[in-house]
């Protein structure tokens, strides 16, 4: 019996989207390689090592709870302020880590890109793995607070995978779109910290959306990451009520992310020319 020969065609044309996803799957081991590399580099030559994954959200929790909870006396309806802030910080830190690290991943891996071929989407995906590990570690802070305040977890926690997926898509969407425009001009990368700093004031991380005037509450409804933060609290503690706008924004963000990946795919062969 004669063996059928598989013919592999190599073309300079960008892959279609299905082929591109297959390539990402074929190179999936690189995602873990890059993620482990990032973890080693991040905590190299530090005394506390991966404990920083707990110290960073804990520091934010103490600062926000002191200034806004203790000094300004901001209150939440039925949830202790510390739990309210921490459940917001978990989603927000996951979001910002992926954006910061994913947006600069092309420039940070410039030498690797010039030496070997791989789908460039692997770079931001590897940042997601690191962010997930830090997310898991930082949620450990919730345990003593839940015990201290005698708060029960909600049955809504079964939606945890959907909440994490929504959180991840909210971060990856700007990562792909920023990469599309920033590989030639890096101005967006310099402006990114200002956008993130401004964005937290439009996202109920440490304040209740009730402080917004009714006319401005639409900002919270239309802000996908604000939806995610509210979903974290609803999922963990049953805080608030389910909002249909969450599903609408999840659909919009998914389409926007996929579209960004498609255009990213079309342009990724040009990245090495500008790094």
Residue-wise pLDDT for 62-84, tens only, equals 888 888 877 877 777 778 888 99
Cα separation, 89 vs 139, in Å, equals: 10
User: What share of the chain in percent tops pLDDT 90?
Assistant: 28
Please report the pLDDT score of residue 1 as a whole number. 45
Q: Can you say how many angstroms the Cα of residue 108 is from the centroid of all Cα atoms in its chain?
A: 18
The tokens for 224 are: 């996908």
User: Is 178 in contact with 81 (CB distance < 8 Å)?
Assistant: no
d(CA 129, CA 143): 23
> What per-residue confidence (pLDDT) applies to 2?
47
Instruction: Report yes or no: 59 and 155 within 8 Å, Cβ to Cβ.
Output: no
pTM for this structure? Answer: 0.87
Cβ distance 193 to 103 under 8 Å? no
Of 131-135, 205-209, 247-251, 265-269, least confident by mean pLDDT is 265-269
Distance CA 271, CA 275 (A): 7
- Which whole-number Å values give the CA distances from 124 to 2, 130, 207, in the listed order? 43, 10, 30
- Distance, in Å, from the CA atom of 42 to the CA atom of 50, rounded to the nearest integer, reads 9
The pLDDT of residue 172: 94
Token couple for 163 = 């909440």
CA neighbor of 124 nearest in space, from 203, 200, 53, 177: 177
Number of continuous H segments (helices) and E segments (strands) in the chain? 13, 0
Q: What is the CA radius of gyration of the chain?
A: 21
- What does pLDDT average to over the chain? 83
pLDDT score of 11: 55
Which comes out higher in pLDDT, residue 261 or 209? 261
Tokens 């959200």 belong to residue:
57
pLDDT digits (tens, 9 = 90+) for 112-129: 777 788 888 888 999 999
Q: Would you state the pLDDT for residue 49?
A: 63
How many other C-beta atoms are found inside a 10 Å radius of the C-beta of residue 248? 14
Q: Decide if pLDDT at 131 tops 70.
A: yes
Under 8 Å CB-to-CB from 23, ≥6 apart: which residues? 15, 119
Of 108, 109, 245, 246, residue with least CA distance to 167: 246
pLDDT of residue 108: 74
More confident residue, 50 or 170: 170
């Amino acid at each position: 019996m004669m063996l059928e020969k598989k013919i592999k065609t190599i073309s300079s044309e960008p892959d279609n989207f299905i082929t591109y996803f297959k390539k990402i799957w074929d190179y999936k081991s690189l995602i873990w390689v890059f993620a482990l590399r990032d973890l080693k580099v991040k905590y190299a030559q530090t005394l506390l090592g991966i404990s920083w994954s707990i110290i960073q959200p804990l520091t934010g929790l103490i600062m926000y709870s002191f200034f806004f909870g203790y000094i300004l006396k901001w209150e939440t309806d039925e949830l202790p302020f510390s739990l309210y802030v921490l459940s917001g910080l978990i989603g927000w830190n996951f979001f910002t880590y992926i954006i910061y690290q994913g947006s600069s991943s092309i420039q940070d891996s410039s030498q690797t890109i010039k030496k070997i071929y791989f789908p460039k989407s692997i770079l931001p995906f590897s940042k997601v793995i690191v962010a997930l590990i830090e997310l898991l570690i930082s949620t450990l802070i919730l345990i003593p607070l839940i015990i201290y305040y005698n708060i029960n977890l909600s049955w809504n926690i079964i939606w945890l995978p959907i909440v994490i997926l929504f959180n991840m898509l909210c971060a990856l969407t700007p990562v792909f779109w920023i990469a599309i425009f920033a590989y030639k001009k890096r101005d967006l990368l310099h402006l990114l910290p200002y956008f993130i700093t401004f964005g937290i004031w439009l996202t109920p991380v440490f304040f209740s959306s009730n402080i917004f005037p009714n006319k401005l509450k639409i900002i919270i409804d239309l802000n996908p990451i604000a939806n995610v933060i509210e979903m974290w609290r609803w999922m963990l503690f049953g805080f608030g009520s389910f909002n249909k706008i969450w599903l609408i924004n999840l659909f919009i963000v998914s389409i926007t992310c996929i579209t960004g990946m498609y255009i990213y795919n079309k342009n990724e062969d040009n990245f090495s020319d500008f790094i």
